[in-house]
């Protein structure tokens, strides 16, 4: 069985409410992540038993469910009281290797934080989170993982009827920027310090002995978020709702709602039906990330200056310098995508130049980088085929080829290195939609095929060429909806 421990319940009294999952009428296992289950130390079990445990129908042995309180800035506006309105933390699982991971239900019924909503989750959004989080993990992006989706046997009403489900997800923790905002808004400095100690112990144990611990935490989160958002940008990933309650302290991607991968590259691309002002557009993400870190700094500042008044200025400069920190991560990732092992001072302008040249070209973000590696032998045609205007990338491509020349090494190993970081298969929007509609009709085959491909994103598979391509021409613009 799972080896549970409950450090959050022990150390953060007052930050949560003990609670019970709703008992679903007819749980049925829809998606089960066997390799992850094994890594968590969960032995073989009968699928019907698993469905009862991972839906709340039967208490999971060793768990102590609770709903966590948090606040958050949603689309720029502070909401002092959010919290787990449709989620429950069952506790932390101690892995065989010693790691500690949260196990959480999503869609397990109303809690004291549900604010009139039903606390439930529809099957489609639960499977969407499962698919995209597993794809992100396979792409090497820090992320929550998905262990199970169990249909509850209940119907939900979301403009039309949908089957209900419980998603079980695994995370380094569920501490968010919004958890700190909640502590600062409702409980004051001592609670912020208590939360800081807990977060450092859990995620940044090497910084526990820092002179100014809240400042050290701020620095660690800035670093983790800079690295994370840089990875998103290098994969064309749009989170869609970067509210501060969806920003983890650990630096994992969390809360896959109206997220999507870019098809055609465009900095101002928005998929989410609720993001009317484009606040969380693709190109906005580094800026919004810093905005969110300012909110974390505000929550921490009283505790920071209590240690040392002068650290107010250090914190200010840290946030001021965030763009350079982000860009360093972004460029490191982009160098790898472009097959460069050395670094030159002009690499930043080469990298930026690529996206300037791509502006308006309708180039598929994912395919373009595979086309670049395919063009290493000197065939610009494979790159041109991805563009609206065939010559648009010609000057940039020549500059890149000169740079590659200076980088040295042989083309075959460079192409292999590029293809090991530039995916071939991602959960493309039209494929994901088709897979989820089929799943809601009871046909899991398209979901399983897409999950399998997205779980091995770099390896070409025979007969799967359709999965490498964007939506057919003339498809309607893709829109994503919040996972409620």
Q: Pick the closer one to Mg ion by CB: 243 or 422.
A: 243
What gap in Å lies between CA 120 and CA 220, rounded to an integer? 34
Determine if 311 is a binding residue for Mg ion (CB under 5 A): no
What gap in Å lies between CA 464 and CA 449, rounded to an integer? 10
Q: Pick the closer one to ligand AMP by CB: 33 or 179.
A: 179
Determine if 284 is a binding residue for Mg ion (CB under 5 A): no
Determine if 108 is a binding residue for ligand AMP (CB under 6 A): no
Burial degree of 25 (CB within 10 A; 0-12, 13-18, 19+): exposed
State which H helix or E strand residue 358 sits in. helix 347-358
Q: 117 in helix, strand or coil?
A: coil
Q: 54 in helix, strand or coil?
A: coil
Select from 255, 263, 275, 364 the one that contacts Mg ion (CB under 5 A).
255
Q: How many residues touch ligand AMP (CB under 6 A)?
A: 18
- Distance (Å) of CA 96 to CA 41, 50, 145, 237: 6, 20, 17, 32
Determine if 119 is a binding residue for ligand AMP (CB under 6 A): yes
Determine if 52 is a binding residue for ligand AMP (CB under 6 A): no
Which of ligand AMP, Mg ion, none binds 354 (CB below 5-8 Å, type-dependent)?
none
Which of ligand AMP, Mg ion, none binds 257 (CB below 5-8 Å, type-dependent)?
ligand AMP
Select from 24, 27, 65, 83 the one that contacts ligand AMP (CB under 6 A).
83
Find the shortest distance in angstroms from Cβ 122 to ligand AMP: 9
Find the shortest distance in angstroms from Cβ 297 to ligand AMP: 22
Catalytic (active-site) positions: 245
Select from 84, 134, 181, 364 the one that contacts ligand AMP (CB under 6 A).
84
b/e per residue 418-452 (b: at least 16 CB within 10 A) = bbebbbbbbbbbebbbebbeebeeeeeebbeebbe
Determine if 275 is a binding residue for Mg ion (CB under 5 A): no
Task: Considering only the stretches 84-92, 327-335, 351-359, 411-419, report the one whose residues sit in contact with ligand AMP under the rule CB under 6 A.
Answer: 84-92
Determine if 263 is a binding residue for ligand AMP (CB under 6 A): no
What gap in Å lies between CA 386 and CA 366, rounded to an integer? 11
What gap in Å lies between CA 14 and CA 12, rounded to an integer? 6
Q: The tokens 């506006």 sit on which residue?
A: 77
Q: Binding residues for Mg ion, per CB under 5 A? A: 246, 255
Q: Binding residues for ligand AMP, per CB under 6 A? A: 82-86, 113-114, 117-120, 241, 246, 255, 257, 482-484
């Amino acid at each position: 069985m799972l080896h549970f421990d409950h450090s959050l319940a022990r150390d953060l009294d007052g930050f949560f409410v003990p609670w019970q999952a709703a008992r679903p009428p007819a749980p049925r296992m829809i998606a089960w992540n066997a390799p992850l289950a094994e890594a968590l130390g969960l032995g073989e079990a009968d699928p019907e038993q698993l469905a009862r445990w991972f839906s709340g129908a039967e208490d999971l042995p060793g768990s102590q469910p609770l709903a966590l309180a948090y606040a958050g800035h949603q689309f720029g506006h502070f909401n002092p009281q959010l919290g787990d309105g449709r989620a429950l933390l069952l506790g932390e699982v101690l892995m065989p290797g010693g790691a500690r991971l949260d196990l959480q239900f999503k869609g397990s019924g109303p809690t004291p934080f549900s604010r009139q909503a039903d606390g439930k989750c529809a099957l489609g959004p639960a499977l969407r989170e499962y698919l995209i989080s597993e794809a992100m993990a396979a792409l090497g992006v820090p992320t929550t993982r998905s262990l199970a989706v169990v249909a509850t046997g209940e119907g939900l009403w979301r403009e039309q009827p949908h089957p209900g489900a419980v998603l079980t997800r695994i995370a380094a923790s569920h501490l968010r920027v919004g958890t700190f905002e909640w502590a600062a808004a409702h409980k004051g400095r001592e609670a912020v310090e208590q939360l800081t100690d807990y977060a450092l112990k859990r995620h940044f144990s090497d910084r526990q002995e820092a002179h100014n611990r809240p400042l050290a935490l701020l620095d660690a989160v800035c670093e983790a978020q800079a690295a994370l958002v840089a990875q998103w940008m290098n994969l064309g990933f749009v989170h869609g709702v970067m509210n501060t309650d969806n920003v983890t302290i650990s630096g994992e991607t969390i809360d896959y709602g109206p997220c999507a991968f870019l098809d055609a590259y465009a900095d101002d691309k928005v998929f989410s039906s609720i993001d009317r002002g484009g606040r969380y557009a693709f190109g906005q993400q580094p800026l919004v990330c810093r905005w969110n870190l300012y909110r974390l700094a505000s929550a921490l500042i009283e505790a920071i200056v209590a240690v040392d008044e002068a650290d107010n200025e250090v914190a200010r400069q840290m946030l001021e310098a965030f763009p350079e920190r982000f860009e360093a991560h972004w460029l490191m990732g982009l160098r790898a995508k472009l097959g460069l092992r050395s670094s030159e001072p002009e690499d930043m302008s080469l990298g930026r130049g690529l996206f300037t040249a791509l502006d308006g070209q309708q180039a598929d973000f994912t395919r373009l980088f595979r086309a670049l590696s395919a063009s290493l032998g000197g065939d610009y045609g494979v790159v041109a085929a991805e563009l609206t205007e065939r010559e648009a990338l010609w000057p940039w491509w020549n500059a890149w080829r000169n740079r590659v020349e200076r980088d040295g090494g042989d083309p075959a190993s460079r192409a292999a290195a590029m293809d090991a970081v530039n995916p071939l298969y991602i959960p493309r929007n039209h494929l994901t939609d088709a897979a989820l509609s089929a799943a809601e009709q009871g046909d899991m085959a398209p979901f399983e095929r897409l999950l399998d491909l997205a779980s091995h994103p770099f390896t070409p598979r025979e007969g799967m060429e359709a999965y490498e391509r964007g939506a057919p021409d003339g498809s309607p613009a893709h829109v994503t909806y919040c996972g409620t």
